[in-house]
Amino acid sequence: MSVDLQNLENIPRHVALIMDGNGRWAQEHGLSRIEGHKEGAQSVRSVLRAAARAGIEYLTVYAFSTENWKRPPQEVDGLMKLLINSLNSYEQELHDNKIRLRVMGQFERLPLPVRMRLQKTIDATADYTDHTFIVALSYGSRTEIADAARRIAEKAKAGKLDPKKIDEQTVADHLYLPDVPDPELMIRTSGELRLSNFLLWQLSYSEFYITETYWPDFREEHFFKALEAYNARDRRYGGVR
């Protein structure tokens, strides 16, 4: 049964996605892991369209974690090449839907050709304000929080920040993308029930939606079902109604 977006009263402003299950999908289909990642790239395209159609302002996807560098070099190299190919394929769609591209993570660790290709699209879409597509690359939330703590400590040491005035907002202001609102909804595919070092600070009050669907099979209708489930949630932020 399809979801009627007009019947949804509460649409999240920001949706985060843990795209899981590419390897298992490939194994079940008798394909290589990189083929699973290639099919997963098509799901990204579908979700981009779905998010734009639903009026989502921010969509963040967990594309490559700091831990993923430990994977076999051949797979890492394949993922980097797939990222470049995906950007070549998606860029016109970003322009058509006025979607801004941003990246969060250890940008400097990415191979130079990847950084150059990313920067080209980041610059080309920088003026769009309707929608923002954030790709977490070489990203780890514990590293992000540690980096924020380091920057805060440096400012305090230099006398630019009073340690007594450090609060939650101070930490939030020193994360990778401090201007981006926290996600109201986090979707994880393939049925796994963990955060995997993703947006630990930002997801503190997010609603979680877990689906057994592998990422390569995840399409617009699955995304809309997640929005429907979110619409039915009662968000109290620790209060009582």
The verdict on whether 22 is a catalytic residue reads no
Helix (H) or strand (E) segment spanning residue 60: strand 58-65
- Count CB neighbours of 168 within 10 A: 9
Q: What is the CA radius of gyration of the chain?
A: 18
| Half-sphere exposure in the Cβ direction for 17 (13 Å, CA) | 27
Angle at 217 between CA 205 and CA 57, to 5 degrees: 40
Q: Which of 4, 7, 20, 97 is catalytic?
A: 20
The verdict on whether 68 is a catalytic residue reads yes
Distance between first and last Cα of the chain: 32
Q: H helices within 181-241, ranges in order?
A: 220-231
Strand partners, 46: none
Query: What is the total residue count of the chain?
Result: 241
The answer to whether the beta carbons of residues 20 and 240 sit under 8 Å apart is no
Q: Which of 68, 97, 197, 231 is catalytic?
A: 68
241 CB burial (10 A radius; 0-12, 13-18, 19+): exposed
Nearest to 122 by CA among 143, 109, 137: 137
3-state SS assignment for residue 187: strand
Phi then psi dihedrals of residue 59, to 5 deg: -130, 120
Catalytic residue numbers, as ranges: 20, 68
